[in-house]
Structure 1
């Protein structure tokens, strides 16, 4: 109530500050006809200024011609922030997550706080519906409520998941260590990162891990910590193509073309210290050799091994209990191939669409797998009533997790609209020693991603601001290796964003890791954040040391 009252007061008494963000689009754009000259622009002269009123123009594409006739295009976008009050919705949501351990209440509190801060009192019409009535919102409902819930319900009804677990136990798994190793290898194998990896690995390994008394806290940590980090280390996915559009620097030859920028991304992989340590730490956990365990994780390991209880007493797993076992009719014989065929379709369609279409189509992958699993179950003799019953039980089993995921998307959008990332960069982008900047960028992006729940959104906010600042700082400091220095700063941004996204309780991958493995959301956050923070600390130290050698 205090937070709501504070946000209402700030919303009524504090006006947002506007700034015009400038991003270079390079020398070519898709539709040059949309660009206007700098002389005709209403925003060009406002760059770098702090505005108290709303700019007349919301967005512009401007072309600038130099003395040699070379044309360069810029995107000008007005962005607003409420100063440090911009973080009030995210702070409210995260604080309530830790206090109440109940994500729906916490996220709803953050959403209400953000609505009051922005003076949008019709929360349903101005906040919820615009955020959810989008392509991404509909995609979340279809994928995680219909497709994921349906296929998990079918696997529970036809016994395919249990049959797969028994097969793996007989041939591959010989205890908790090998069960966790299977999860780790699958996490590395599905290196597309993000939602596809967390859902696929979690749903595949959970039956095996449950059988071997691997706690859901352990499994969710392995699944989450090999999703985005491995996508950084094996970037044969959509990440470089997205990031390259954000890192163009005018006048810098080695970032002049799209292929140059993608090559720059690939070349920074050895500097992704956090991602390397995150994947390594999960491997050490598989062998019970990770020294940086939180007390909660240690208790979870002891509890599951000694009592067989996979969740903490009083926890609220995001996966319904009815989906953790099998409810197979007496006259139906389960078969492991009913698990392998849909799983093979998920992998094959996702990889195939990535190769031929440029990005993995997760909806096609899970949709085709659900249809094939359903018809195989009917062909093998299960009644239509039982098969549809499995589907509906699966839908009911993931409703709670889907609601949490949708609310996390809304609060992430609110956090971006309030401009916390823009404010942080505006405050700290000053004259600092060059060796401080990599860690500063790491910490800032960690905070932005943690408070917004998105790494890609953090890239979009930070990279257009960080790259020019890092390059200018390296040149002004007279560094012997300015390109290496720029690579360090870039790696710090990428890895800091991944850490914040991975550890945030309002991140979609955090929610999905908990949902797919049947873990309590806050149990997952609390047990993961300790080893992840140790990895981030070591990574920051490494970047600082290398930055000093650049001089």
Structure 2
């Protein structure tokens, strides 16, 4: 009898193992990856890249020594001796007959319609047609199918590497990408500084002390807690990663104490980051973007000062940023009509059951950062949270006012040092402090790896020419009134596929603004500057939307990480209210162009 039961049990175990293996073989995500890898190999060996002339016009001047130069981030850069454009081997008509790879980029000079000499850097970029979108599509599809961003991003990287013929993923793709300045910045800020600071706050109980203080003095329930979050998101209007990290880190203990769902908090944090930065644009955005919108012959875009003035004069039309921030305000006030069914379900779940995450959720923030481990005899104080936060904000804003660019690393580094000194001064031992730092690093290491992989897949998508192909696809002859809509669509897809708004700006602005000017001169438009402003904010806001909603975006990942939300739960619940805001904004832009331009 025992032998029969043992044999039967072994048989059942074997059947279950075979069934599990069969189920995995039928997994849609596995087949998506396999088919995509085969397609990538097909592209590498069978599809010829399509080379395109890529011209970037700079505002070049002659310096005191007689050399040609331009300004880049406040520094003078010499350009050497340009060659006539007509002599360049990188002109499109030459590239159309090219066999093999083109030469490297160089500076060229040419005369515009008014006889003035303009200077530009000319190089060649390529795309594989629709295939150029494959790495980003794979990463996004696997994210949606598996709810696992790590493997999804790795899948996108492998597919992109195969398309480029780089089969040594470690040495030819990952190491070069991780050796970049962007990856080093991610490692320093989001792993060491942010992780260390959160670990110290967890060890000292400072975050919980802050939550208790705010609850006692300012918060009277979920509504006031969410309003505090919204207010901080507006105050930290530098945008992007800085805002998400500051606000998410500050409000998470408060929100958890008030039993607010993580989906709601991540939505508020994310939608008051880049959207508010496009409205309260007293940050690094105008200085970066103005260099991308120079168009020869356009008087109001001729100098840096005029381009900055054009930027700020266009801000009142930044409707998506305005509606996105208003949407989070309505949610904070308890008005969920415009928040989408996902947000409403999450709100109801947390309110009735106290469950902050959906069933099966896998939050990016680890348990080490959610459960305080205060040593015996150590009494937490709210100033242990307030002082580092005040120092952090003060340094970030102060350096922005002084230099024009917030020094986020300085701010977080000083806050980490201050938090450590306060803990040591109050009697915590060095071993206990380092234990807290270690737990903090463990808590954010997964999200930091995901961020670095997102940088890699974005770089591969850009190298393969995904954005360039999209511009060609949508940049043909279109009615003037539909251009804002097409620019929104183009930038949304590009930013969503690459996970970056600033990278999208670098791709789209040099193409979209000259196109908008050319269309405005065709005779149907009586207010060309207004038309240019609408097209400008369409690119500005469309890129913000795509970046904000992309599962491979750093701000999306950080919003989920700092609030303790499952990444894909955040992406899915945020998408509906963001789409509603963008639909309303695009409708207004189209109406303005039709009736006022």
TM range (shorter): over 0.9
Distance (Å, rounded) in 1 between the aligned partners of 2:586 and 2:539? 11
| Cα displacement (A) at 1:294 | 3.0
Distance (Å, rounded) in 1 between the aligned partners of 2:113 and 2:186? 49
Residue 443 of structure 1 corresponds to 489
Residues 37 and 543 (structure 1), Cα distance of their counterparts in 2 relative to 1, 3 Å cut: same
Distance (Å, rounded) in 2 between the aligned partners of 1:492 and 1:65? 30
Residue 266 of structure 1 corresponds to 312
Identify which range, 129-138 or 4-13, moves more after superposition: 4-13
Residues 12 and 167 (structure 1), Cα distance of their counterparts in 2 relative to 1, 3 Å cut: same
Q: Does 1:25 align with 2:71?
A: no
Match of 1:468 among 514, 518, 523: 514
Distance (Å, rounded) in 1 between the aligned partners of 2:238 and 2:559? 15
Tell whether the 8 Å contact from 2:57 to 2:119 is kept in structure 1 after alignment. yes
Q: Does 1:9 align with 2:55?
A: no
Q: Does 1:210 align with 2:210?
A: no
SS at match of 2:203: helix
Match of 1:430 among 476, 485, 489: 476
Residue 541 of structure 1 corresponds to 587
Residues 545 and 306 (structure 1), Cα distance of their counterparts in 2 relative to 1, 3 Å cut: same
Q: Does 1:388 align with 2:434?
A: yes
Tell whether the 8 Å contact from 2:90 to 2:102 is kept in structure 1 after alignment. no
| Cα displacement (A) at 1:444 | 0.5
Residues 362 and 330 (structure 1), Cα distance of their counterparts in 2 relative to 1, 3 Å cut: same
Tell whether the 8 Å contact from 2:237 to 2:276 is kept in structure 1 after alignment. yes
- Give CA deviations for 1:74-112 in whole Å, capped at 9, x if unaligned: 121211111011000111000110100011111111111
Structure 2, unmatched stretches of 5+, are 1-33, 62-69, 71-75
Residues 402 and 33 (structure 1), Cα distance of their counterparts in 2 relative to 1, 3 Å cut: closer
Q: Does 1:133 align with 2:166?
A: no
SS at match of 1:233: coil
TM-score (norm 2): 0.90
Distance (Å, rounded) in 2 between the aligned partners of 1:474 and 1:550? 13
| Cα displacement (A) at 1:321 | 1.3
| Cα displacement (A) at 1:41 | 4.8
Distance (Å, rounded) in 1 between the aligned partners of 2:461 and 2:301? 31
Match of 2:195 among 149, 159, 179: 149
Structure 1, unmatched stretches of 5+, are none
Tell whether the 8 Å contact from 1:19 to 1:47 is kept in structure 2 after alignment. no
- Give CA deviations for 1:417-470 in whole Å, capped at 9, x if unaligned: 111111111122222110011000000000000000000000010011111111
Tell whether the 8 Å contact from 1:453 to 1:508 is kept in structure 2 after alignment. yes
SS at match of 2:278: helix
Match of 1:376 among 396, 414, 422: 422
Residues 125 and 147 (structure 1), Cα distance of their counterparts in 2 relative to 1, 3 Å cut: same
Tell whether the 8 Å contact from 2:85 to 2:108 is kept in structure 1 after alignment. no
Provide the alpha-carbon RMSD of the alignment.
Answer: 1.6
Distance (Å, rounded) in 1 between the aligned partners of 2:474 and 2:94? 15
Residues 380 and 41 (structure 1), Cα distance of their counterparts in 2 relative to 1, 3 Å cut: farther
Residue 194 of structure 1 corresponds to 240
Residue 165 of structure 1 corresponds to 211
SS at match of 1:476: coil
Deviating beyond 6 angstroms after TM superposition, the runs of 4 or more aligned structure 1 residues are 66-69
Q: Does 1:42 align with 2:75?
A: no
User: Computing the radius of gyration over CA atoms, which structure comes out larger, 1 or 2?
Assistant: 2
